[in-house]
Amino acid sequence: MNESDIYVLSDPDWSHPDFPYGLTLFDPEHNCAAILGMRYFGEHKKGTLTLAWAVAARHGYASCHGGMKRYNLEDDKTFQIAVFGLSGSGKSTITHAKHNNKYNITILHDDAFIINADDKYSIALEPSYFDKTVDYPLNHEDNKFILTHQNEGVIMSADGKLYSVPEDVRNGNGRAVKSKLWSADRVNRINEPINAIFWLMKDPAMPPVLKLLSPDLASVMGACLATKRTVAERLVNGVDPNALVFEPYANPFRVYPLVWDFERFKKLFTDGVECYILNTGDFMGKKIPASVTLDIIERIIENKAVFYKWESFSDIEAMDVAGFEASFSDDNYRNFFAERVRDRIGFVASRDIDLNGREKLPPEALDVLENILAKCS
């Protein structure tokens, strides 16, 4: 492979008035990074993964910030899915979902992995899990898999024993490193080719599910994946935590050209990997429950999902989901959807300028979005 080891220098006591939130420096060519003035373990984890993803990208892999699992079905059939989304989008919930024990499931990872663009096998990049503790009370069964705690308080009982304070009682974004044994059927590699990729979005213009048929459209929608900020992010003053933002492929840790991701995922879709958008937020003000999302996934993996041509789009299909009608007969909805497409066009166009064009995408990325907008009228 001709790659050096990864080296990360950490100095949590570093400070500088020009960088009150700390500073990170990356030298991907030499697999080195410096994390300065930051004490949170998550920044050290993602700093290391940033370099690892860059190594993978240089060697023909799609670098993935998401979750990956294999459904082991009847008659020796399997169905492999990957879900992509930022913290709070539901990727861990979907990855670890047991579906009421309907399936035998094998988990690769819920946060970091890579996919070989040619052979479609997948490899995990983490030996353990870095999980939120907000949903795990002190006596929760899963807490026995915790190795270390971060961002949590500690209390002492009458017998002198120390206990952590989970559920974000003390402060937001409590975290824990969990053993890989947390998942009963955890593996570090899935050899079976991936079947489907799900872009997880919190975009109120998106129905609960859409299927994208064009490789160009499927890849560019990953490049302008829409989400909202979470408590896991340390935001600079003045940044609206409720604003919709675009984060290409749900991966803000890229130190290589964005077009590499676009082309790798486009190749996966060209080679037959299916692509879906799952809205895990709300649709036009109505919350989409996790149970609805999981039911959609179940129907897809069991080949029971019925998709149909949506509106006048040749490359987009929809599925009926009770309580969530998405029709352009409602002018307000049609105009709102068109506005979100315009937002994406603006974002993709801005890639030509930002970072001196480092993020520039090929012309077909913009063309396919403009074709979608033209059919919204």
Domains annotated on the chain, with CATH: 62-128+186-374 (3.90.228.20), 131-178 (no CATH)
pLDDT of 5-43, one tens digit each?
999 999 999 999 999 999 999 999 999 999 999 998 889
- Tell me the sheet residues that pair with 212: 275, 316
Tokens for 252, please give them: 């803000």
Portion of the chain with pLDDT greater than 70, in percent:
96
> Given a cut of 60, is residue 170 above it in pLDDT?
yes
- Tell me the sheet residues that pair with 277: 199, 210
- The whole-number pLDDT of residue 87 equals 75
Matching residue, tokens 């989304």: 85
> Given a cut of 70, is residue 240 above it in pLDDT?
no
Q: What is the DSSP letter of 186?
A: B
* Cβ atoms within 10 Å of 278's Cβ, excluding its own: 27
pLDDT of 313-348, one tens digit each?
999 999 999 999 999 999 999 999 999 999 999 999
The H-or-E segment that residue 72 falls in is strand 61-72
Rounded to the nearest 10°, the torsion over CA 129, 124, 277, 93 is -20
- The whole-number pLDDT of residue 238 equals 61
- The whole-number pLDDT of residue 251 equals 92
Diameter of the chain measured on Cα atoms: 70
Of 77-86, 130-139, 186-195, 264-273, the range with the lowest mean pLDDT is 130-139
Of 78-87, 137-146, 234-243, the range with the lowest mean pLDDT is 234-243
> Given a cut of 80, is residue 219 above it in pLDDT?
yes
Portion of the chain with pLDDT greater than 90, in percent:
82
Amino acid identity at 372: I
How much is the average pLDDT of 293-306?
97
